[in-house]
Chain A
Amino acid sequence: MPRVTFVTFAGEHHVVDVPAGTTLMRAATDHGVPGIDGDCGGNCACATCHVFIEAPWASKLSPRSDHEEDMLGLTVDPRPSSRLGCQIRVTDAIDGIVVQLPQGQH
């Protein structure tokens, strides 16, 4: 199973292995990783699974949709590396991905 490392705002690492096809949002919420809420259940409709994904992982992901772009506009500190965790499915191609979490979801 592909592995995901979530790094909280305080710098704690949470490593989880999830079946391919799981979204980053579910990978976090199903494993009790603090800092991701996922209020809308994965509909790209609340922006409470905001994460930062830097190089080299960012370029391996499909680009943001217009909808994701709109919703990221609701977050407190959107950055070029901002993504919504519910829009990214974990696959073998991104096995080992590192995901940084913001200070809080809003």
Chain B
Amino acid sequence: MTSPLSAVQQQARDAAMSMPLDAIDPADPEYFVHDTVGHYFERLRRDDPVHKSDSPYFGPYWSITKYADIMHVDTHHDIFSSDWSRGGITLTDPPEGEKLQMFIAMDPPRHDDQRKAITPIVAPPNLMKMEGLIRERTCKVLDGLPRNETFNWVDEVSIELTTLMLATLFDFPLEDRRLLTWWSDVATMNKKLNPDALEPHERMAELGKMLEYFTRLWNERINAPPASDLVSMLAHGPSTRNMSPLEYMGNLVLLIVGGNDTTRNSMTGGLLALHDNPDQWAKLRADPELIASLVPEIVRWQTPLAHMRRTAIADSEVGGKRILAGDKVAMWYLSGNRDESAIDDAHRFIIDRARPRQHLSFGFGIHRCVGNRLAELQLRILWEEILKRFPVIEVVGEPVRVRSTFVRGFSQLPVRIPG
């Protein structure tokens, strides 16, 4: 962006560039609420790309901040484990008894088997079949938006569309769809970071209700012929039909969060990015074909999951630093996606990049986002339908960002569509 930095940003930048390296701890939720973490990452990429911090929230951990080093860690699952029993995939260590077994938090071979069971629903042949329905639902939501009054884009568009999609994938009763939004929020709540979050026991109680609801659906589907919804696929799939309740719950959380928080925030982040870069919005209006490269650029720019965590299970060297077995490692996708040594003009939002798909937001290696093509399809349809309808969408206030070092997202973005 070419506009001068706000006072908050300038202050954060000065602090990030001048504080002693030892003091830098990017996993500070304050930096995410104010969207100032980028300055700290810029300093680390320059001065200490593989960096050790001791967090008051997460204990000691390594930050991997450069694109190439993140690619290295992500593609060495034999050294950097995702397994839930070692702490899983986020910096937060779940309390004992709350370790959710989901395939994103498993190493091979169990990961591979369970992932394969659900891959077909989000694979290109099935997506082609779903495109019409996604478009119909998107049109209906957009046509129902208020005119000439301020509303929250996050709630009316981003949450509504992603929740509808998720309900479709699960064949979940549409009238109860906001439960999915609630459970997604509950699943990523972190009392340590956010005083407003539920207590751990309340959180588990809510997830228990989710399991109860989905167990009912499971029982219905297991007694019916195999269908193409996710619950039926899990209930009939040879590698998933004997899952324990905790494992079923873990995989539900994975699919609900994976299909909800991520695309939701790219839907909001994309609008904000275009608003902040009016030249890019003008370019898009002049040539709607650019939606093809706009979509991956939005996903890079937003990076809706700021990091993925791994736990080293062998000693190795990354970027010249010795990482030992047992160490906690954060791959900061958000930082790698701003790495000038891997992406030209990484600090600029450019909707017609030469290689827009080369970003880290979906991860790389065997845990690469299984729903990436569905996410892109939803975003493509959203922008195609927006361009057909609204010559202008005004962002009329500051966004409110969520207090998380994992989900990089928004709770509010006030907008107005002139009628």
Contact = CB atoms under 8 A, between A and B. Distances in A.
A4 B355 CA distance: 22
A37 B362 CA distance: 14
Interface residues of B, number: 26
B365 interface: yes
A44 B120 CA distance: 21
B386 interface: no
Given A45-B365, A76-B125, A67 B75 contact: yes
Interface string B221-244: 000000000000000000000000
B108 interface: yes
Contacts of B112: 70, 73
B357 A106 contact: no
A106 B71 CA distance: 18
B74 interface: yes
A43 B357 contact: no
A103 B365 CA distance: 21
B418 interface: no
B265 to A, nearest CB: 20
Contacts of B128: 104
B366 A41 contact: no
Interface string B54-83: 000000000000000001001100000000
Nearest to A39: B357
Interface in A19-52: 37-41, 43-48
Contacts of A45: 71, 74-75, 364-365, 368
Interface string B92-111: 00000000000000001000
Contacts of B108: 70
Interface of B: 71, 74-75, 108, 112, 115-116, 119-120, 122-125, 127-128, 355, 357-358, 362, 364-366, 368, 370, 372-373
Given A37-B357, A46-B364, A71-B366, 17 more contacts: A39-B362, A40-B71, A40-B358, A43-B71, A43-B364, A45-B74, A47-B368, A67-B75, A70-B108, A70-B366, A73-B112, A74-B366, A76-B124, A76-B125, A103-B125, A104-B373, A106-B124
